[in-house]
Amino acid sequence: MNIKSTFSMLTLMSGLIFTHLAFSEPVWIDVRTVNENKADNIAGDPLIPYQQIVEEVSLLYPDKDTEINLYCRSGNRAGIALSALNAAGYTHVQNFGSIGNARKVRAATD
């Protein structure tokens, strides 16, 4: 099994865990790089680099009405991912900008 197959399998397996949460809680997705995520991340949030967002989200969250919240370092890549998901038919996607802002928003709503 090569690395891409292993990553896809792990992504699919983690998606099964997260799918049931999509119906009651918004899904938060980090769209940064693997290295950025290793350096700083929000525990429990899946990492889906923005270049792979539609492919991976389609597998993990096939319901196009799933509430999806995106973040990156500054909001730029999250904006690109948001546009791609909207073009793919996802209707409830938001860009929360930076990982720091995502933390603040979540702390305020917890």
pLDDT attached to residue 109: 85
Q: Rounded mean pLDDT of 68-93?
A: 98
Report the number of distinct structural domains present in the chain.
1
Task: Label residue 22 by pLDDT band (50, 70, 90).
Answer: very low
Answer whether 30's CB lies under 8 Å from 42's CB.
yes
Q: What's the rounded Cα separation, in Å, for the pair 46 and 23?
A: 16
Scanning the structure block, which residue is given the tokens 């690109």? 80
Q: Which residue has the higher pLDDT, 25 or 58?
A: 58
Task: Find the domain containing 70 and state its range.
Answer: 3-109
Task: Provide the token pair at 4.
Answer: 């891409």
Percent of the chain with pLDDT strictly greater than 90: 75
pLDDT attached to residue 110: 75
CATH number of the domain at 13, please. 3.40.250.10
Q: Rounded mean pLDDT of 38-65?
A: 97
pLDDT attached to residue 83: 98
Answer whether 19's CB lies under 8 Å from 61's CB.
yes
Q: Torsion over CA of 75, 81, 86 and 88, rounded to 10 degrees? A: 180
Task: Label residue 5 by pLDDT band (50, 70, 90).
Answer: low
Enclosing H/E stretch for 20? none
Task: Provide the token pair at 29.
Answer: 């997705």
Mean pLDDT of all residues belonging to the chain: 87
Q: How many CB atoms neighbour CB 43 within 10 A? A: 4
